[in-house]
Structure 1
Amino acid sequence: MQLRSLIQLTASVGAIGLLDRVVAVGLGIIFARWLGPDEFGTYAFVVTAIALLCIPAKLGIPELLTRDIAAARGGAEPLALAGSIVKGFAIVGIAAIAIVAVGQLVLQFTADTPISRLMRIGLWMVIPSAFFEVAAGIIRGFGRTIAFQLYGSVLLSGATLGIGASAMILLDQYTARIAIETRFAAFTLLLMTCCVHLILILRRLSSADGGRILGTGEILSTGSRFMFNSVINMALMRVDLLVLGILATEKAVGLYRVAAEGGLLVAFGYTAVTTVLTPEYARMHKAGDREQLQKTVRHATWLILLIGGLIALPLIFGSHLVIGLVFGESYTPASFALSIIAAGYLVSFLFGDPIYILNMTGHHDRVTLLVAISLVVSLVLCLVLIPSLGGTGAAIAASVALICYRYLACRAVYRWLGVNCAVFGGMVSFGKARGGRA
């Protein structure tokens, strides 16, 4: 992909992402203020747990279909799109229902707490959420990058905010339960919209029914590897909050969730660039164009670092002021954690976008090993630091693990693809690339 095209698409996706961040931060502000630290902490814990449960429900099929549909666009082997998509949805539906059933059974034997009561409701969100992810992943594979970004970001956040705020005002109830129920409604609404769009895309494609249908065994085998990769990756991203919820109070979780939400602003540029390029990595790799892949990766790295730096620096040095103005003085104890998280993201951007490159070029199994190593690092640091430092310790653990993860993945990209995605390029050697390229 040429630099001009990358910048244009990134700007479009970035504009959507910026709007999403505004809506998402607005959602966080309203829910945090209306629910209070305790209720907001319960809500945050349940949302995180449901997100983890959605990963085995999806079985890695969204990532698999994104990759294979994008690869079919750049290769000679046709893919029977309609048949493969229907089969993917059927498998995900069976998995999602099974997870909800098992989860409800397990909750019958757990202690009656605010979190367990809310989990009984939140578990049902697994079904529309898993289907929504599959539909969005298919649209992404077709190259509808802007539509994918709209569905997965601003429309979802906007629907959650609009439905949630309206329900709370109309019912005059400001509880975590209302927040969870309205999030379920938002997922269902977006799923129906996304499916209508997908049907329209398939109707316009004359080749939708021609070619090879993905086999059930192939879907389960390859998808399960994507799934396991996603499970431990999500665990890496959320283990800090989960351990904090176990070792600390709901209030500590609510404060830390505010810091984590603020930290996600730093990843705005990273999300925009990777949204544009993820299917392109698969297409360029399938076409064997390593020179263009290297050029595209280098452009992406600098864009990620530039945008990330512009957002990170104010959060690193002015976190107390930002949180006080946006969320209120009761959340300012989370300011130091926000500074640490923002700094961790910025350092990790020095290594570019290695994760998606590995996933889209057939090296997703190597990602699994790398994220497992980083997860162990994060878990150990959480267990050591959280008892004494609380949210600050969780932020340190998460940042160190993220930097470790991106560095190891950057080395793997260079070794197996001969592509250097680090911002320092030739200044630092990662050793010999496979095939003797240094």
Structure 2
Amino acid sequence: MASSPLINQPWLKYLPLCIRRRVEGQVYLQNVVGNTAWQFGDQILRMGVGLLVGIWLARYLGPEQFGLFSYALAFTALFTAIAGLGMDDIVVRDVVRAPEKRYEILGTAFGLRMVSGAISFMVAMVVIVLLRPEDTLSHWLVGIVAAGSLFHGFFIIEFWFHSQVQAKYMVMAKGSAFFLCALVKVGMILMELPLIAFAWVTLLEVILGAFGLIAVYLSKAERLSLWRWRYQAAAKMLRDSWPLMLSAVVIMIYLRIDQILLGELAGNEAVGIYSVAVRLSEVWYFIPAAIYWSVYPAIVEAKGISEELFYERLQKLYRLMVFSSYALALPVVFVAQWLVPFLFGEAYGQAGVMLGVLIWSNVFVSLEMARSSFLTVMNWTRMYLVTVVLGCLLNIALNLWLIPIYGGIGAAVASLVAYWFAAHGSCFLFRQLRPTGRMLSSALVNPRFW
């Protein structure tokens, strides 16, 4: 027993006995669980602190100003997706496949992200001025938050650690920035500072996170000076990633278009109430994200070993994603209408019903994230783009139809239907994706922990 991999992993002794028995002797699974545990621990702390600060901020600002701040964040997110260039999975995939070329991959990705970040910042500023020409406060809020795109090149380091299944270093870097800025927000609330001050703190968190990642990267005896730009590598990376970039933009549109359309059709106060439901539903996205980034490198490797192992691991990932989503959605549905007014106050009471609807979208967000691993490994990124475009168009159409009639509840229903269609329903429209659709259906009716 002393030589068991279970004993050699100290953190495993804190897991429930049933889980320890499942992972004993399985080095791959132990790495996945350990990496996921780091991300879970970080995100659970973020969720707790972020929720407390978010509640305090929402109460302090009130639905009108909180709605305007949420509108600015949602608007900026549309253009942040451009800065990302959709290369997250591509960088991880390429480093896993060719670790000897890691400096070329990282350097090229860094250069591309710095250029795209500057472009996305300028485009965001032009669009907000055209959309709200007289709203100077919105211009400032969007400009400050969007300036974070200028630092996104350094977040390439994050994908290096993902490729090495070493989440703890990202946790230390980005978590420190988050907690420091959370304390700053609390201080600003106590000092009763104006809305625009909180936009500056949002930018500060991005900057501190970037420098934190640089620090932990250097601490691993790596050097930024070894990064190299290669035109051929950039061309290949863009060929592989442009469908994912457009997909990321489209995903941000159908993740945030509900808040933007709600702001234009129903006003900032409606956005403020709806944003509470969105935040309470999206705060759990760290669960599928942590699972995904822990499993993705192994799925890439499995493809090179055998088709059987590849699809076996995919099915396990789909079932695990659904299992975790069901485990979350069921209890939230029963407490949502009591929980929201208790936490945020009666002014946000209507968000309880919206949360009861939106929480089910986590099931399909998780499945879409898991399915993207399959499409990226197969290099079917164009197919991924088509499915999310269809989901986006459906979301826009449903929001335009339902918001004037039902307000925020209509936006919640529109989002849920669109998420389902993009992740699951759209698979059955294309012959190549029908086997994947059947695998997702199996996961929906037979979820499992592993």
TM exceeding 0.5: yes
2:294 is aligned, of 248, 252, 276, to 276
SS at match of 2:384: helix
1:383 is aligned, of 387, 392, 400, to 400
> Do residues 14 (structure 1) and 40 (structure 2) align?
yes
Greater mean deviation of Cα atoms: 330-339 or 297-306: 297-306
Q: In structure 1, what residue type is equivalent to 2:264?
A: I
* Counterpart-to-counterpart distance in 2, 1:290 and 1:4: 23
* Counterpart-to-counterpart distance in 2, 1:348 and 1:95: 26
> Do residues 58 (structure 1) and 80 (structure 2) align?
no
> Do residues 26 (structure 1) and 26 (structure 2) align?
no
* Counterpart-to-counterpart distance in 2, 1:414 and 1:9: 35
* Counterpart-to-counterpart distance in 2, 1:62 and 1:390: 35
Greater mean deviation of Cα atoms: 342-351 or 314-323: 342-351
Q: In the alignment, what sits opposite 1:145?
A: 167
| TM-score, normalization by structure 1 | 0.84
Unaligned runs of 5+ in 2: 1-26
- Deviation of the 1:352 alpha carbon: 8.2
Q: In structure 2, what residue type is equivalent to 1:166?
A: G
| TM-score, normalization by structure 2 | 0.82
1:120 is aligned, of 143, 158, 163, to 143
Q: In the alignment, what sits opposite 1:432?
A: none
Q: In structure 2, what residue type is equivalent to 1:244?
A: L
Change (3 A) 1:191 1:38: same
1:184 is aligned, of 187, 203, 206, to 203
2:153 is aligned, of 131, 137, 156, to 131
Change (3 A) 1:107 1:241: closer
Q: Percent identity?
A: 19
8 Å CA contact retained: 1:3, 1:296: no
Q: In the alignment, what sits opposite 1:243?
A: 261
Q: Deviations over 1:326-347 (max 9, x none)?
A: 2222211111110001133346
* Counterpart-to-counterpart distance in 1, 2:400 and 2:377: 33
SS at match of 1:60: coil
> Do residues 302 (structure 1) and 319 (structure 2) align?
yes
8 Å CA contact retained: 2:277, 2:352: yes
- The number of aligned residues is 416
- Deviation of the 1:376 alpha carbon: 0.9
- Deviation of the 1:409 alpha carbon: 6.3
Q: In the alignment, what sits opposite 2:411?
A: 394
Q: In structure 2, what residue type is equivalent to 1:176?
A: L
- Deviation of the 1:124 alpha carbon: 1.7
- Deviation of the 1:312 alpha carbon: 1.1
Change (3 A) 1:265 1:60: closer
Change (3 A) 1:108 1:47: closer
Q: Deviations over 1:153-187 (max 9, x none)?
A: x4454243123223443xx2343211110011111
> Do residues 263 (structure 1) and 281 (structure 2) align?
yes
Q: In the alignment, what sits opposite 2:10?
A: none
8 Å CA contact retained: 2:427, 2:433: no
* Counterpart-to-counterpart distance in 2, 1:27 and 1:131: 28
> Do residues 82 (structure 1) and 103 (structure 2) align?
yes
Change (3 A) 1:165 1:131: farther
2:194 is aligned, of 175, 178, 187, to 175
- Deviation of the 1:228 alpha carbon: 0.9
Q: In the alignment, what sits opposite 1:433?
A: none
SS at match of 2:264: helix
Change (3 A) 1:161 1:421: farther
- Deviation of the 1:85 alpha carbon: 1.9
Q: In structure 2, what residue type is equivalent to 1:379?
A: I
- Deviation of the 1:408 alpha carbon: 4.2
Change (3 A) 1:281 1:414: farther
